[in-house]
Amino acid sequence: MSSYDFSIFWKESIKQLKEDKLISNQEFDMWFTNINYVSSSENSITVSVPSNFYKDQVVQRYLDVLESRLLQLSGRQLKLHFFIIQKNDKKIPSKNEVIIESHELNEIKPQIRQIKPKSHPQLRYDYTFENFVVGNNNIFAANAAKGISDNPGSSYNPCLIYGGVGMGKTHLMQSIGNEIFKSGADTKIVFISAETFVSEFIQSLKNKTQQAFKNRYRNNVDVLLIDDIHEFHSKEGTQDELFHTFNALYDANKQMVFTCDRPPSELVNFANRLKSRFEMGLNVDLQPPNYETRLAILKNMNDESKINIPDEVMEMICKNITTNIRDLKAALTKLIAYADLVGKNITTEIAQNQLKQAFNAPIQANITIDRVQRIVSEYFNITPNDLKGKKRTKVITFPRQISMYIIREVTDFSTTEIGLEFGGRDHTTVMHSCQRIEDRMKTDSTIEPLVMNLIRSVKEHGNK
Ligand code: ADP
Ligand code: MG
């Protein structure tokens, strides 16, 4: 009989998934009411699912988040194993019955997931120094990051990496984590977005588990990586908690790295004592890359792909997309996908056609905030006043965030100006909204086409 019982961590991890609103109640009911805990071993938990379809869906949608929750909760790298209940398996053994141990599962045809190459559960495996192209714009930051991964906790502590959207902050920060992880040393690395940190903290207050939260971040970490700390603005309670976390880790010579969309001095609604902590160690910035660096980034990316995009096309992309590495990469990805699907070689004409939108994207002088608000509210069947008003129901906030995002994309109004046109909201709210949409685009494939269509309508109206 197995002496391990991690059922409590399993239960808590799916509970958190629900409570943190990482998935809707509907989705939760769909996927999690039919999964049952079966058994544990030293480094795994086995759960049962009704079909292969179930297993694949749960693996695709939730495996990463579940495994990283399990790590956070238990401090162990627990892998999730699945087995499919056959029709004649009447039920799952209950606690008092025989616990099925891993090797016994053979009898009921376990569907054990292939174990991935060893990678840190919270880090993207491809965010490495090898994949990070160094140019004039980022050489200082890149060298500092390498220095940190060679000697965490010693020279550059804390380190704050700042720069605009899509400049490579997350990539560089995760490279530090991946490098230390690869070195094989027994170093506990925790990567967390500021947003998740906030929601975990709030959750711990609700559940009265503050002590566990404190332990997790103050006593159980060697390298703490917190992404997008500007998200802590106006969150006084969490700032306070972070301040104490910071001090505990700093005193214990543990490495901390933060990313931020601006230098700490420009943070608003931040406790001064926390700002000064961020300023203490090394602050490095990531600037927009110049033409040569942009080209090097694309070439590096194209080398990884089986489809070859001609140099002249890459040069054209680099001339036209100048500000943001994320957009630059997205343009190349689009062409690679096109070539793959249509089976054609990419010429400059095809590229121009496919990337029209990205090339024209930046500024359209004649587009007003008012027009975007009208078109978006019409589409969602609400009024422009709803967008400007105070209501925070989902029916309104989503269109509001979309409107702000579109205005940021197609005009050059500042976030402060945009905030004013949305009932006098703070510029950080505007930034936060845009970030929300960007984040959702990454996980929900329906959002990008929706935004693109709205942008098209906004532009068309402009020409009438
Ligand atoms: P940020 O966190 O600053 O918004 P990301 O780290 O998410 O930006 O980077 C956006 C995209 O650009 C990612 O796909 C990342 O891999 C890529 N990227 C950024 N900087 C570089 C670089 N120097 N070399 C290669 N890829 C980069
Ligand atoms: Mg980022």
Domain 139-286 has CATH 3.90.120.10: no
- According to CATH, where is 3.30.300.180 located in the chain? 7-112
Ligand 2 centroid distance, CA of 246 (Å)? 21
Strand partners, 41: 44
- Is domain 7-112 annotated with CATH 3.40.50.12500? no
Nearest atom (ligand 1) to Cα of 132: 24
Instruction: Tell me what the pLDDT averaged over the chain comes to.
Output: 85
Q: What is the pLDDT of residues 420-434, one digit of tens each?
A: 999 999 999 999 999
Q: What is the pLDDT of residues 297-316, one digit of tens each?
A: 999 999 888 888 999 999 99
Mutate to test the pocket of ligand 1, among 171, 172, 193, 437 (most ligand atoms within 8 A of CB): 171
Atom nearest to 259 CA in ligand 1: 2
Distance 124 CA to ligand 1 centre (A): 12
Q: Exposed, middle or buried: residue 279 (CB in 10 Å: 0-12, 13-18, 19+)?
A: middle
| Choice between 444 and 400, residue whose per-residue pLDDT is larger | 400
Question: Which tokens hold the place of 20?
Answer: 């943190």
pLDDT in tens, 312-342: 999 999 998 887 899 999 999 889 888 888 8
Residue 431 near ligand 1, beta carbon < 6 Å: no
Map 64-124 to HEC letters.
Answer: HHHHHHHHHHHCCCCEEEEEECCCCCCCCCCCCCCCCCHHHHHHHCEECCCCCCCCCCCCC
For ligand 1, the distance from its centroid to the CA atom of residue 319, given in whole angstroms, is 18
Pick the ligand that lies closest to the CA of residue 326: 1
Distance 131 CA to ligand 1 centre (A): 10
Region(s) of the chain under CATH 1.10.1750.10: 369-462
Q: Whose CA is nearest to atom 11 of ligand 1?
A: 326
* Nearest listed ligand to the Cα of residue 168: 1
* CB distance 170 to 210 below 8 Å: no
| pLDDT of 365 above 70 | no
CA–centroid distance, 210 to ligand 2, in Å, is 27
Measured from the Cα of 172, ligand 1's closest atom is 6
Ligand nearest to the CA of 332: 1
CATH number of 369-462: 1.10.1750.10
Mean pLDDT confidence for 189-200: 95
Q: For 165-177, what is each residue's pLDDT tens digit? A: 899 999 999 999 9
Amino acid in position 167: M
**pLDDT of amino acid 91:** 43
Which residue's CA is the closest to the ligand 1 atom numbered 18? 168
Distance 132 CA to ligand 1 centre (A): 8
Distance, in Å, from the CA atom of 256 to the CA atom of 225, rounded to the nearest integer, reads 6
The predicted structure's pLDDT at residue 196: 93
Is the pLDDT assigned to residue 38 strictly greater than 70? Answer: yes
Domain with CATH 3.40.50.300 in the chain: 139-286
Confidence of residue 461 (pLDDT cuts 50, 70, 90): low
CATH 1.10.8.60 corresponds to the domain 291-359: yes
Nearest ligand to the C-alpha of residue 324? 1
**Residue 133 in contact with ligand 1 by CB distance below 6 A:** yes
pLDDT of residue 98: 33
Q: Where in the chain do CATH 1.10.8.60 domains reside?
A: 291-359
Distance in Å, CA 296 to ligand 1 centroid: 13
* Residue range 202-251, pLDDT digits in tens: 999 999 999 999 999 999 999 999 999 999 999 999 999 999 999 999 99
Ligand 1 within 6 A of 168 CB? yes
Confidence (pLDDT) at 435:
93
Single out the residue of 312, 357, 335 nearest to residue 457, CA to CA. 357
